[in-house]
Structure 1
Amino acid sequence: MSKLFGYILSPVFYIFFGLILCIFHPIQWLCFKLFGYKAHKVSVDILNFFLTYCQILLFNSISFKNEYDLPTDRPIIFAANHQSMYDIPSLIWFLRKHSAKFISKIELTKGIPSISINLRLGGGANINRKDNKQAISEIIKLGRRMKENNWSTVIFPEGTRAKDGQLKTFQYGGIATILKVVPNALIVPVAIENSWKIVRFGKFPLSTGNALKWTVLKPIEPGVKPPNDITLEVENEIRKVLGQPMAQPASQSV
């Protein structure tokens, strides 16, 4: 039934999603050119509100849960699992007061209405995955901007999307690199549920009637913990929410 409704509703969803991207592209440019970064950020926040709640056109529900009073005067590294591209607009919207930035593929900085201009102007890190030196340099620059502006960033330690919802092993490189520049950054796990189901049939039809959930988990003080231990802790906290088997330290892996 979800697939049947998907054939009917997916064109409507894509039309509205595309229109929103096209409408906000010039709005972002004007906000940035005329009023600067803060106005541009407001336009991006509003853009991602509409992109997030476009999901109601597919009868998908949206739930964001945060029981913690997270600081706004301190950089935060939000570490989340990654299930689909639809994870991102909701993270931008729900974490907007923390000025969350992303590490993105440099290829995305061209050719996509609204998204490409935001990646170029928004202050995140746009990396070339084929150039490790460039990638590390861009992440370090992002860390410096976090430190200077009390910005936050969202890391997907899996490195790619888990298209079936099953977590992949978290890699600690991104967290480690940022912590070298911003050692006082708070680590906050975020568990994402069911967004993989939107695209379980592929790009068309999209799946309908899914309960999409974003849950902020207990913050982790980095202290003197090594990045690999922090990353393992983040991964296992997310696994608990998703009901998946716990990961073991590399030395204990079978």
Structure 2
Amino acid sequence: MSKFFGYIFSPIFYIFFGLTLCIFHPIQWICFKFFGYKAHKVSVDVLNFFLTYCQIFLFNSISFKNDYNLPTDRPIIFAANHQSMYDIPSLIWYLRKHHAKFISKIELTRGIPSISINLRLGGGANINRKDNKQAISEIIKLGRRMQENNWSTVIFPEGTRAKDGQLKTFQFGGIATLLKAAPNALVVPVAIENSWKIVRFGMYPLTTGHALRWTVLKPIDPAGKTPNDITFEVETQIRKVLNQTIS
């Protein structure tokens, strides 16, 4: 039934999702051009509020749980599992006070309304996956911006989306590179559940009636720990929430 209703409601979802992206594209440009970073960030936050709650057109519920009083005067590395593109708007919206940035493929900085302009102007790292030197350089620059501004970065240590919801082994490179530039950053795991189900049949139909959940887990202070140890601890915490063991 979830797939059946997806045929009916996916077009409605895409219409509103696409309209939101198109409407906020010029709004972002105006905010940045005439009012600077702070105004641009507000426009991005509001954009992602609407993108997040477009899920109502698919009858999907949104739940974001955070039982921890996370600091705003210290950079944070949010390390999450990755299930679909719909993971990202909710992370931006609910982590907005932490100025969450992303490491993105440089190809995404062109041709996508709202998303491309935000990637170019928002302060994240846009990397060329075919140029390892450029990628590392951009991530280090992002780490320095985190350190200077007490921003946060969201990374997906799996390196790709888990399209079937099964967690892949986490890689420590991203955390290690960011910690070189922002050594006092707190590392915070985030478990994402059920967003893979939306796209289990691809772009169409999207499926309906899922409980989408984002859960902030116990923060990890990196002092005295190696990036490998930190990454393993992040993965272990997330696997526990997802009820998945290391294979």
TM value normalised by structure 2: 0.99
The amino acid that maps onto 2:106 is I
Tell me the secondary structure at the aligned position of residue 62 of structure 2.
strand
* Residue of structure 1 equivalent to 2:198: 198
Render the CA deviation track for 1:83-116: whole Å, top value 9, x for unaligned. 0000000000000000000000000000000000
CA RMSD of aligned residues (A): 0.5
In 2, the alpha carbon distance for the partners of 1:242 and 1:204 equals 26
In 1, the alpha carbon distance for the partners of 2:218 and 2:174 equals 20
* Residue of structure 1 equivalent to 2:89: 89
Tell me the secondary structure at the aligned position of residue 65 of structure 1.
strand
Aligned residue pairs: how many?
247
Render the CA deviation track for 1:41-89: whole Å, top value 9, x for unaligned. 0000000000000001000000000000000000000000000000000
Render the CA deviation track for 1:154-196: whole Å, top value 9, x for unaligned. 0100000000000000000000001011111000000000000
**1:210 and 2:181 aligned:** no
In 2, the alpha carbon distance for the partners of 1:77 and 1:17 equals 28
Gaps of 5+ in 1: 248-254
* Residue of structure 2 equivalent to 1:102: 102
In 2, the alpha carbon distance for the partners of 1:48 and 1:118 equals 11
Gaps of 5+ in 2: none
Contact 1:240 1:246 in 2 (8 A): no
* Residue of structure 2 equivalent to 1:13: 13
**1:160 and 2:160 aligned:** yes
CA drift at 1:224: 1.4
Tell me the secondary structure at the aligned position of residue 188 of structure 1.
strand
Tell me the secondary structure at the aligned position of residue 223 of structure 2.
coil
Render the CA deviation track for 1:11-43: whole Å, top value 9, x for unaligned. 000000000000000000000001000000000
Tell me the secondary structure at the aligned position of residue 41 of structure 1.
helix
Render the CA deviation track for 1:199-218: whole Å, top value 9, x for unaligned. 00110000100000000000
* Residue of structure 1 equivalent to 2:61: 61
Tell me the secondary structure at the aligned position of residue 187 of structure 1.
strand
CA drift at 1:246: 3.5
Segments of 4+ moved more than 3 angstroms: none
The amino acid that maps onto 1:37 is Y
Contact 1:48 1:89 in 2 (8 A): yes
In 1, the alpha carbon distance for the partners of 2:50 and 2:120 equals 21
The amino acid that maps onto 1:50 is F
* Residue of structure 2 equivalent to 1:250: none
In 2, the alpha carbon distance for the partners of 1:206 and 1:12 equals 11
* Residue of structure 2 equivalent to 1:79: 79
In 1, the alpha carbon distance for the partners of 2:28 and 2:191 equals 29
In 2, the alpha carbon distance for the partners of 1:223 and 1:146 equals 17
* Residue of structure 2 equivalent to 1:251: none
